[in-house]
């Protein structure tokens, strides 16, 4: 059974103290919700959200934070920088702590809403979206399907491979995804390509790294400074139409196979809440080269990654009709990645490229070393050739209309309350007419 | 000698009537400039700019346009839609016409500034930047260098190949470009990659298509409607570090080899000014397949392209020291492209991807059929193996520090004043420390 956490992290909101809570007092992830037709910022606590706009209006926040907390997006708060992030987090922690002064607690109580029944929306404006390919396991297994003679390209262990995704089609969790139409490779090279609804719609399990502080064009961010540019993380589903992608992607990379939708989860876990879950960078396999010097720092090697457990679940229409819960497709961990978040930031800016406040750097599909831990169906079903049998007797090579994909994430460490990243979910709707 | 244009296009500003003028009354391209620390919108006329903010303040514009013309960026004007674009253009044309009422002319005179000595800045906020690859000649010649056995990939004649570029590093003409540092392929596969300033810095001659009206996510834009989403065009230089690009681009496409800088020219030529220069889509070579149905319209085939002549010029430090003007490297024409602007828009949205107001769709390098018309040094020097001899006795395989690259563009048609797109220019500065 769920038990209360230790007193020092105790909130006056009892549900936040259950060990099963995603959002204990030590978490306080940022989000945004719709209130009377407007968008407001909030943090999650227990099963509730605390309305930051209302807190700002009730003199519960320091004057320097009021304007940023009244904004509809997190970008102004991000722009204020670390001291302000720490100040806000300390203020909110003491406000929700069991020892909070009575009048402040009453003020906060008036700004609480149940998360259930609230419309959560995108909490940040995302000027640029970059997608990396940081899982060696994913890259190797995907490579084995398409290039069995050379699964891993010679650049992989030196270059944190990435490309620019589409910022305009980033959508909030819960918004359905319409099955895209597009060209795919003709079965006979002398025929015209097909043009129809994708037959190999896939998800990709990723984490979004939100940039809270940018850099000037022409000014790289060193590996020792990279961490300080991060604001927080959330779950991200980089939907992929494998047949469209495989026909279009040479020589300039993925385009229409990806840019029809990218789903992000509503809660951004601040880096401060992740500190207790730091782990060493994944040790490189014995014969692998060391990273080039600009990508190496001893501190990053020793504690540059995070223990974030991830799950992918599938709910089909048949499961829902039969009142069956979603089915666990796979599990993996952010710690499985070959490159750390700091290495991704440093590589991205090594040529002088400027990151902007609110940018998302996605990790790429997070797959573990085991075959069963693949973060997409392309891996789990070997490009659809080995369909997965579901408990309903259904099979899936790729996603069917009506399927809902749900990502969950959580962090655990000794003597620390567990935190959960919430959910990133979306249902597939049939292609348009 | 330059002669006045026909009376119907005559302005009261004599310089605008010279046949050599880039900015006659029929052009009126949009731009933005710095005025007392703030950014204001303007149009170019002759050698002057007309301050739209000042015009709006002096009751020279219709009330419905005042707010958009007082904005620092064109996006609010774009958002107003076609009727407003036409209304503004008609208003400004009559205001600057030789028959303008005296008081209105005096009002406009007070809002004129010489372009020389004015700081021109980015006229639009660009939420997303897509780069296409629409020149068959470019794709074939580049392919011949890297894949002599198969210069053109099987998808090229069906798929308008494109990828997402970096919006944050789009910079205005005149801002220098710092030579980027990055990884390049080791000379021996058993060695580590190099990490140093690029040794193969290149330009790419392109045009930017500005999106003036977007589409909703999930709602493709048909080929017959695509044209109406365009606001205007400008020159664009998609700087490329070929050694970085060639090592990093497999399997997900160009990234750090491109995203250190993209230069755009200050003036956006509205589509209405381009109407007289429409030409048929380039006829496909006899044995080429027809485009798939979603990319085909008879109207687009008959008049979907534009006769825009383009030039690339190079000015080296030695040329400037010797007071020599810039040297013409190559010429080509927008009409040389394999895909029309409408086809690029329709393909981009065919999977439901949403375009946003202010987005740039770049054409990709515009090269002509002749070897000498290549739109980048990669083509002109065959990847640096055949350096170009310059009139100073210097040679260039790729760009040297201190080199300035200048793009120019112009449109001519019978009984029409010529228009010029102005210049897109930038100088290369040495890599940092």
* pLDDT above 50 (res A317): yes
| CB of A151 less than 8 A from some CB of B | no
pLDDT, tens digit, for every residue of A190-219? 899 999 999 999 999 999 999 999 999 999
Angle between helices B82-96 and B102-110 (to 10 degrees): 100
The H or E element that residue A352 is part of is: none
* pLDDT above 60 (res B254): yes
Kindly tell me the number of DSSP H helices and DSSP E strands found in chain A. 12, 26
If one counts every other C-beta atom within 10 angstroms of the C-beta of residue B383, the result is 17
- Averaged pLDDT, B155-159: 98
Closest residue in chain B to residue A175, using alpha carbons only: B217
Quick one: CA torsion of A52, A56, A59, A62, rounded to 10 degrees? 90
Cis preceding-peptide flag for A385 (omega within 30 of 0): no
Minimal C-alpha gap between A298 and chain B (Å) = 20
Chain B positions touching A294 (Cβ under 8 A) are 195
Q: What is the pLDDT of residue A247?
A: 97
Closest residue in chain B to residue A359, using alpha carbons only: B168
Tell me what the pLDDT averaged over chain A comes to: 96
Q: What is the pLDDT of residue A433?
A: 76
How many beta-carbon pairs below 8 A join chains A and B?
192
- Could you give the CA distance from residue B351 to residue A241 in angstroms, rounded to a whole number? 10
Q: What are phi and psi of A22, to 5 degrees?
A: -70, -30
Chain A positions touching B217 (Cβ under 8 A) are 168-169, 171, 260-261
* Of the partner residues B153, B159, B217, the one whose CB lies closest to the CB of residue A183: B159
| CB of B204 less than 8 A from some CB of A | no
Count how many Cα atoms sit within 13 Å of the Cα of residue B190 in the half-sphere of its side chain. 0
Quick check: A154 and B189 CB within 8 A?
yes
pLDDT, tens digit, for every residue of A135-178? 999 999 999 998 999 999 999 999 999 999 999 999 999 999 99
Q: How far is CA A76 from CA A89, A360, A368, in A?
A: 15, 16, 36
CA-wise closest residue to B377 among B255, B242, B261: B242
- Averaged pLDDT, B182-210: 96
pLDDT, tens digit, for every residue of B110-136? 999 999 999 999 999 999 999 999 999
If one counts every other C-beta atom within 10 angstroms of the C-beta of residue A317, the result is 15
- Averaged pLDDT, B89-102: 97
* Of the partner residues A166, A218, A247, the one whose CB lies closest to the CB of residue B178: A218
Q: Is the dihedral of CA A296, A300, A306, A307 positive or negative?
A: positive
pLDDT, tens digit, for every residue of A44-59? 999 999 999 999 999 9
DSSP per residue over A284-345, as a string? PPTTSPPPPGGG--HHHHHH-EE--EEEEEEE-HHHHHTTPPPEEEEEEEGGG-SS-HHHHH
CA-wise closest residue to B30 among B81, B72, B83: B72
Q: Which of residues 44-63 of B touch A (CB under 8 A)?
A: none
ipTM over 0.95: yes
* pLDDT above 70 (res B169): yes
Tell me what the pLDDT averaged over chain B comes to: 96
Q: What is the pLDDT of residue B1?
A: 41
- Averaged pLDDT, B19-44: 97
DSSP tag of A179:
P
- Could you give the CA distance from residue B128 to residue A342 in angstroms, rounded to a whole number? 25
Q: What is the pLDDT of residue B433?
A: 76
Q: What is the pLDDT of residue A8?
A: 85
* pLDDT above 80 (res A364): yes
Q: What is the pLDDT of residue B7?
A: 62
- Could you give the CA distance from residue A309 to residue A421 in angstroms, rounded to a whole number? 10
Closest residue in chain A to residue B217, using alpha carbons only: A169
What radius of gyration, in Å, describes the C-alpha atoms of chain B?
A: 22
- Could you give the CA distance from residue B186 to residue B191 in angstroms, rounded to a whole number? 6
* pLDDT above 70 (res A412): yes
* pLDDT above 70 (res A6): no
pLDDT, tens digit, for every residue of B211-241? 999 999 999 999 999 999 999 999 999 999 9
Q: For residues B2 and B19, is the Cβ–Cβ distance under 8 A? A: yes
- Could you give the CA distance from residue B59 to residue B291 in angstroms, rounded to a whole number? 49
Instruction: Give the β-pairing of B177-178 and B419-429.
Output: parallel
- Could you give the CA distance from residue B241 to residue B198 in angstroms, rounded to a whole number? 6
* Of the partner residues A166, A289, A352, the one whose CB lies closest to the CB of residue B353: A166
**Secondary structure class of B31 (helix, strand, coil):** strand
Quick check: B289 and A192 CB within 8 A?
yes
Picking from B351, B357, B433 by the largest number of A CB atoms within 10 A of its own CB, the best residue to mutate is B351
- Averaged pLDDT, B170-190: 96
Q: What is the pLDDT of residue B166?
A: 98
* Of the partner residues A166, A180, A359, the one whose CB lies closest to the CB of residue B164: A166
- Could you give the CA distance from residue A344 to residue A281 in angstroms, rounded to a whole number? 13
| Those residues with Cβ within 8 angstroms of residue B87's Cβ, 6 or more apart along the chain or in another chain | B62, B64, B65
* Residue B164 annotated as catalytic: no
Q: What is the pLDDT of residue B291?
A: 97
| Per-residue tokens: A193 | 């390509």
| CB of A102 less than 8 A from some CB of B | no
* pLDDT above 70 (res A5): no
- Could you give the CA distance from residue B413 to residue B354 in angstroms, rounded to a whole number? 35
Q: What is the pLDDT of residue A7?
A: 62
Quick check: B178 and A251 CB within 8 A?
no
* Of the partner residues A168, A180, A347, the one whose CB lies closest to the CB of residue B128: A168
CA-wise closest residue to B303 among B327, B326, B280, B284: B280
Quick check: A251 and B255 CB within 8 A?
no
| Those residues with Cβ within 8 angstroms of residue B189's Cβ, 6 or more apart along the chain or in another chain | A154
If one counts every other C-beta atom within 10 angstroms of the C-beta of residue B10, the result is 19
Q: Which of residues 318-357 of B touch A (CB under 8 A)?
A: 347-348, 350-356
Q: What is the pLDDT of residue A1?
A: 41
Q: Which of residues 277-316 of A touch B (CB under 8 A)?
A: 289, 292-294
CB < 8 Å & 24+ apart, contacts of B107-111: B107/B55, B107/B58, B107/B59, B107/B60, B108/B50, B108/B55, B108/B60, B110/B54, B110/B58, B111/B50, B111/B51, B111/B52, B111/B54, B111/B55, B111/B58, B111/B60
Quick check: B217 and A168 CB within 8 A?
yes
Q: For residues B258 and B246, is the Cβ–Cβ distance under 8 A? A: no
């Amino acid at each position: 059974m769920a038990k209360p956490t230790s007193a020092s992290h105790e909130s006056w909101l009892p549900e936040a103290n259950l060990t099963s809570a995603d959002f204990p007092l030590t978490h306080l992830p940022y989000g945004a919700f719709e209130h009377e037709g407007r968008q407001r910022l909030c943090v999650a606590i227990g099963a509730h959200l605390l309305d930051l706009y209302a807190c700002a209006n009730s003199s519960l926040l320091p004057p320097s934070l009021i304007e940023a907390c009244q904004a509809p997006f997190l970008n102004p708060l991000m722009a204020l920088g670390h001291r302000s992030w720490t100040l806000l987090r300390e203020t909110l922690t003491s406000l929700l702590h069991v020892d909070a002064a009575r009048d402040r607690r009453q003020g906060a109580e008036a700004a609480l809403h149940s998360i259930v029944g609230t419309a959560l929306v995108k909490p940040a404006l995302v000027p640029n979206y970059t997608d990396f390919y940081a899982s060696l396991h994913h890259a190797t297994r995907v490579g084995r399907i398409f290039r069995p003679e050379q699964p891993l390209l010679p650049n992989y262990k030196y270059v944190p491979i990435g490309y620019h995704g589409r910022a305009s089609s980033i959508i909030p969790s819960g918004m359905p995804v319409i099955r895209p139409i597009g060209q795919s490779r003709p079965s006979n090279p002398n025929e015209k390509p097909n043009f129809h609804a994708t037959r190999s719609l896939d998800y990709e399990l990723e984490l979004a790294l939100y940039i809270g502080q940018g850099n000037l064009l022409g000014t790289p961010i060193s590996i020792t400074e990279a961490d300080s540019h991060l604001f927080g993380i959330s779950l991200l589903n980089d939907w992929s139409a494998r047949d469209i992608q495989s026909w279009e992607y040479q020589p300039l990379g993925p385009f229409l196979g990806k840019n029809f939708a990218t789903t992000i989860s509503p809660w951004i876990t601040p880096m401060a809440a992740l500190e207790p879950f730091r782990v060493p960078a994944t040790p490189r396999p014995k014969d692998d080269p060391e990273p080039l010097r600009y990508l190496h720092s001893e501190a990053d090697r020793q504690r540059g990654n995070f223990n974030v457990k991830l799950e992918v679940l599938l709910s089909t229409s048949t499961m829902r009709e039969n009142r069956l819960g979603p089915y666990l497709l796979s599990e993996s961990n952010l710690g499985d990645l070959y490159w750390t978040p700091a290495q991704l930031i440093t590589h991205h800016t090594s040529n002088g490229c400027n990151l902007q406040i609110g940018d998302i750097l996605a990790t790429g599909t997070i797959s573990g070393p085991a075959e069963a831990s693949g973060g997409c169906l392309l891996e789990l079903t070997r490009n659809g050739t080995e369909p997965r049998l579901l408990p309903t007797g259904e099979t899936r090579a790729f996603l069917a209309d009506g399927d809902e994909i749900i990502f969950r994430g959580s962090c655990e460490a000794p003597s620390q309350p567990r935190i959960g990243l919430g959910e990133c979910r979306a249902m597939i709707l049939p292609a348009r007419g």
